[in-house]
Amino acid sequence: ELALPWADPLGGRRGCVGPGAGPPWAGPASGPAGRHSMLPRHVQRLGRGWITHWNGSQILALNSPVSSCIRWAGHYPPWASFPLPIPADFSANWRFPPFFGPWRQFQNYNWHLDNYTQSCCFHLLNPSMKSEGDEPLTKKRRVSGQGDTSTPEQETNLSKQKEISYLSVAQNEEKHGSKKGTIKRHWEYFCQQSKTMKIAKNKGSDQSNTGSEATFDFTVMSYNILSQNLLEDNSHLYKHCRQRLLFWTYRFPNILQEIKELDADVLCLQEVQEDHYRTDIKSSLESLGYHCEYKMRTGRKPDGCAICFKTSKFSLISSNPVEFFRRDIPLLDRDNVGLVLLLRPRFHCKASAAICIANTHLLYNPRRGDIKLTQLAMLLAEIASVAPQMDGSFCPIIICGDFNSVPGSPLYRFIKEGKLNYEGLAIGKVSGQEQFPRGQRILSIPIWPKKLGISQSCVYEIKQQPKEENSGEKLEAAKPDKTQEIVIASEKLSSKLRHHFKLSSVYSHYFAETGIPEVTTCHSRSAVTVDYIFYSAANDDSAAQPGANDSFCGGLKLLGRLALLTEKDLWTVNGLPNENNSSDHLPLLAEFRLIER
């Protein structure tokens, strides 16, 4: 077994070091942090906990510039061309391949992005996970008295003590150097009439009228800002980051600056930690002219979802939180939540105009597609109960969030196409997060029990009441509409899900010129798209996907969007978070025009 190679620049001898051992010429006190270690000093400080056992199938070999970290097999980006076919027979005479050059040259090597970065490190599997696809223990529902005896107050105090110890170091570093490694994102336009949007510009509130259409332009952002609590619970995802960049005192000013620069009219934020929302986020956003609505998760995890809107552009009609945890339904034992707002534009010729904005963060676990689909159905049912207009049609709808599902997955297709036949579908394939899913159990029919009160059409059900004799009082039966269905006891079980909305995605998920995937999140373990903005498209929306016609009252026209990046782009600035971007997700931003005829 080989952990890391050693080289002796003095005697010319070479050797191998296993866990806790030193080079052959060193005494017991010499180890991975020894004076002649080949590793950079910041890696030496990590200690023995970072020395891993290797088997013969794991090879250390590189032949081209790679990302800002050296990854074990299975964790390198597709554009990195390695490993090389180097024999796995490691012995006491093993030495680096010749492309590393002489020891002194390697010791004084210039660790830049095209080679290795100063924050270069060896990433090991998290010992609390059986495999990469497993759900970390810290992401599962915490039950009082199970596996966690510390109180949230104690955890917060400990975190603050650590933070203070690094704060002076961070401030000192900032005095002697400015932030670097910024990646510029550009605007993509879909309409010639779209107003010119620039970052950090002052936007006017005047709305234009063209022809017989009354228009109202506004911008929407979806942003998972990375809860500090989840960051610390899943620190293995951020080994590529310098410690000082991960503290809330460093991260929050960056996040707030991003929000100021992008200046969206509506913010849909995920992983908003409750104490930070109360002390920092809410007051800061209110000072920028936002009204904030917040829904915290139902368990012990102190984060949730927030929707904030500019009071100069909208007024609040209703706020509707959605809790996905149901104590009486074993399937729904997770604490994820959603939030649905009905907003009225302030500048519009029609007094009854409204826009429905929904925000959610679905379950992460790649092998619980049954829970993901049920949570999504609950959110859609709430939207269907909030969005109907007086004439029976739906008002324009925008759904934002972290759906923990990749483009093209069954869950993604269900949102866009409005239908899904899940017969024979394995629960591990619903979200598409794993290339070789381990969750092979087939989805049951139906997925959720009838007592949830939601039909296969993702609307709330009305149970058919038996006729009862009453003392002269006449009971009026409610007339069912699109948002409600009468349940008949003899109803045949169906494996087909559907919903009533015609939705398009703001982003296309692949770059048209190259076919390279867009990325919304990037950390030590993965770089994929899991964040989306879906909207009900107007008939003449050239950016809408095929089949997304408008059966609504007018609809939305996509005017532009803030372009996403590739994984390679993000690793040139050491992934996420980094010095300028303080979440492991990118903010999504789109400009819409509300059209009513």
Per the CB < 8 A criterion, the answer to whether 532 and 401 are in contact is yes
Amino acid at 119: S
Nearest to 342 by CA among 305, 290, 392, 388: 388
Per-residue pLDDT, averaged over 374-382, amounts to: 98
The token pair at 392 is 């029976």
pLDDT bracket for residue 483 (50, 70, 90): low
Q: Calculate the average pLDDT of the chain.
A: 75
What's the full length of the chain, in residues?
597
Give the residue from 387, 383, 380, 379 showing the smallest Cα distance to 353: 387
Give residue limits of the domains in the chain.
218-458+494-595
Question: For residues 579 and 585, is the Cβ–Cβ distance under 8 A?
Answer: no
| 326, two tokens | 């149901």
What is the per-residue pLDDT across 174-193, written as a single tens digit (0 to 9) for each? 444 445 578 899 999 997 66
Q: What is the mean pLDDT of residues 245-249?
A: 98
For 314, residues 6+ apart whose C-beta sits below 8 A from its C-beta are 218, 265, 266, 343, 344, 345, 346, 355
Q: What percent of the chain has a predicted confidence (pLDDT) above 90?
A: 53
Segment 420-436 shows an average pLDDT of 95
Interval 136-142 mean pLDDT: 53
pLDDT for residue 183: 85
Indicate if the pLDDT at residue 438 is higher than 80: no
Predicted confidence (pLDDT) at residue 30 exceeds the cutoff of 50 = no
Pairing state between β 397-402 and 419-421: unpaired
Is residue 152 predicted with pLDDT exceeding 50?
yes
Closest CA to 433 of 376, 378, 380, 362: 362
pTM: 0.71
Could you report the per-residue pLDDT of 74-124, keeping only the tens digit for each? 444 545 444 444 344 444 444 444 444 444 444 444 444 333 333 333 333
Tens-digit pLDDT profile for residues 494-545:
999 999 999 999 999 999 999 999 999 999 999 999 999 999 998 877 677 6
Note the pLDDT tens digit of each residue in 387-410.
Answer: 999 888 999 999 999 999 999 999
**Contact residues for 482 (Cβ-Cβ < 8 A; gap 6+):** 384, 388, 392, 394, 459, 500
Domain 218-458+494-595 bears CATH identifier 3.30.565.10: no
Q: Are strands 355-361 and 397-402 parallel, antiparallel or unpaired?
A: parallel
Residue 318: what pLDDT? 98
- Among the residue ranges 146-150, 274-278, 349-353, the one predicted with the least confidence is 146-150
Pairwise CA distance, residues 417 & 296, whole Å: 30
pLDDT score for 486:
55
